[in-house]
Structure 1
């Protein structure tokens, strides 16, 4: 893991998006807004850096700075398990579709956070699942990330036809402002009459905006390098160990039960029947996980306050409160209705071999 990555990047993003919560409320369904014309002169923040450090390209032949000159360019740094980016994605996808005929080029720079996100098959599957057809620069070596001096997922950079960076935004939110800048740069480029209407976005599933008013649980990693609030006693690093979960957890504490190995980036279950317990306060709970052996599914069941997660089940949980880990990705395990309060989440794995990386909330 590159030391240039901000180890608190998603904590930063949580703070960022909470400050703009007023612009996010009510965006769970179809959203359509009318922009106030952007009249302020945009600053020049620098030049578009080279993209030659990308290890490969998907959905496109490699693109160069010279080829992009004369186009308005949107660069979007992302990694496919990041919930903050997933909630931004419907806007980027809509902009790519709406403005492509007026000269906008959208480029996603996929810079992985976890080792498994370097796997091209995983990235290709994500592109299909998420309906992404614009060019993707795969940045497994962080060369493009470093060229931009970037530190956050997601990040947007808007570049004019002369190859100058004119606007950036880190984290979720401020979609209206970003689209205003797109419209302004296209108008400056002589794209003809550019509509001042904002895109209509229907955000569902993972892509639905968080319930910021009720969100009291920050993202938490499970590997020892960056975890917080681990409540099981006697933690052993990089070796199998049998854990017991305390009877009571405080909000945002988590614990293990069963035979687990706690590694730097993730925890791995060594024997069937292991559990992860988490006390949380949020509408949504997600877990980044996958089978430690590719192609070996791992069954699980989810409980909320000791009962099967039926009414509060997420996208990856069936009507019995059960599911299966089949691939390395983000799983939505809980989406509950109001009232939102402190709840006890438990996931029990019926098979060994799951690898779990991080909890995120929304």
Structure 2
């Protein structure tokens, strides 16, 4: 899966399935553009195109709450470690989707949590994104030692093909010997591959700009309002109960006791959320089909089906065992002040 900011018919960001074509040849797709548009660098001093010439470079466009990138990350991290002594330079270009992803301390914390040691360019103004003509999270661009882009990969998947491209470019550069084995990744938590066979719920945003299938009646924007959950939700519909304000990117809970309900079909359910005010926390309880989510709990839920929102990030709330069927998810917030941005599934 790939998240795109390409101009769809509605001008929205969404997920589509996309596969690259596997060929034996690596054509020249263009030159490595400037990285000067980055506003800051983490894990490194600023890097320039001239400094990188003579190296094989892997550029990875990312944003830290993107589930598609999180599931790709174990491979990128493994390649960076495996091939660093043979001349591979991995650079993450962090182009934020949400406003809170522009905050350097948020990104720095996420990098530490995700064990990312390679350089990260903070692309808050989308300058590097535009220089590449990029439209996707995640995106990989493979650059040879002469500074030429020789291959790209948009979205998750094709990991063996990507590693073979790295090996080929390193061999062309004179690195010797280049391992012909491919990494084996044992990914856990949010980094684990999606259960594609049972995934029938697409990503959905909660702010009015891009949301779909909102089932509570009488929605108003940018103003507090009390909502109720309908008696029945259809698959991929969502609804609110309690006093909420629906904003452009997110919904904000004004009084404790509010709930979000979502009818979904997937192994995993994640919610991008955080406290509306830095330094605060919001307690919550999670239910599946009206019962505490204990047997189906995700990483961010304890054995009582409860958790706490402490920072702005993606929270894994549900990981259910087989068989997968339509389920009704509900999250009840015991404190006011939560800000919720998007649901993703896996």
8 Å contact kept, 2:69–2:138: yes
Of 175, 180, 186, which residue of structure 1 is paired with 2:164? 180
Q: Does 1:256 align with 2:240?
A: yes
Matched, 1:195 2:199: no
339 and 4 in structure 1: CA distance in 2 versus 1, 3 angstrom threshold: closer
Mapped pair 1:79 → 2:63: yes
- The structural deviation recorded for 1:10 is 3.8
In the TM superposition, residue 40 of structure 1 has moved relative to its aligned partner by 2.0
Matches within 5 A, 1:172-251: 172-251=156-235
The one of 16, 19, 22 aligned to 2:18: 16
- SS of 1:57's equivalent in the other structure is strand
Q: Deviations over 1:87-112 (max 9, x none)?
A: 00000000000000000000000000
Does 2:300 correspond to 1:294? no
Separation (CA, whole Å) in 2 of partners of 1:264 and 1:355: 12
Shift of 1:202: 1.3
Runs of 4+ with >3 A deviation: 3-10
TM-score, reference length from structure 1: 0.92
In the TM superposition, 1:1-362 aligns within 5 A as 8-12=12-16, 15-16=17-18, 40-362=24-346
Helix, strand or coil at the partner of 1:287: strand
Q: What is the rounded CA distance, in whole Å, between the counterparts of 1:217 and 1:346 in structure 2? A: 16
In 1, Cα distance between the equivalents of 2:244 and 2:24? 56
Tell me the distance in 1 between the aligned counterparts of 2:140 and 2:297. Answer: 32
Answer yes or no: is the 8 Å Cα contact 1:206–1:332 preserved in 2: yes
- Deviation at residue 5 of structure 1 after TM alignment: 7.2
Q: CA deviation at 1:41?
A: 2.2
**1:67 partner SS:** helix
Aligned partners of 1:334 and 1:99: how far apart in 2?
A: 35
Determine helix, strand or coil for the equivalent of 2:196. coil
Q: Secondary structure at the match of 2:220?
A: coil
Which whole-Å CA distance do the structure 2 matches of 1:345 and 1:176 have between them? 36
Q: Is 2:270–2:343's contact at 8 Å kept on the other side of the alignment?
A: yes
Offset at residue 200 of structure 1 (A): 1.6
Which stretches in structure 2 are left out of the alignment for 5+ residues? none
Query: Cα 1:275–1:310, aligned 2, differ >3 Å: closer, same or farther?
Result: same
Q: Write the distance in 2 (CA, Å) between the matches of 1:247 and 1:316.
A: 28
CA RMSD of aligned residues (A): 1.5
Per-residue CA deviations over 1:10-43 (Å, capped at 9, x if unaligned) read: 422xx227x99xxxxxxxxxxxxxxxxx982210
- Aligned partners of 1:223 and 1:262 also within 8 Å: yes
1:8 shift after superposition: 4.6
Q: For residues 312-340 of structure 1, what are the alpha-carbon distances to aligned partners after superposition, in whole Å with 9 as ceiling and x for unaligned?
A: 00000000000000000000000000000
TM-score, normalised with respect to structure 2: 0.96
Q: Cα distance, 1:193 vs. partner?
A: 1.7
Give secondary structure in 2 for the equivalent of 1:16: coil
What does residue 30 of structure 1 align with? none
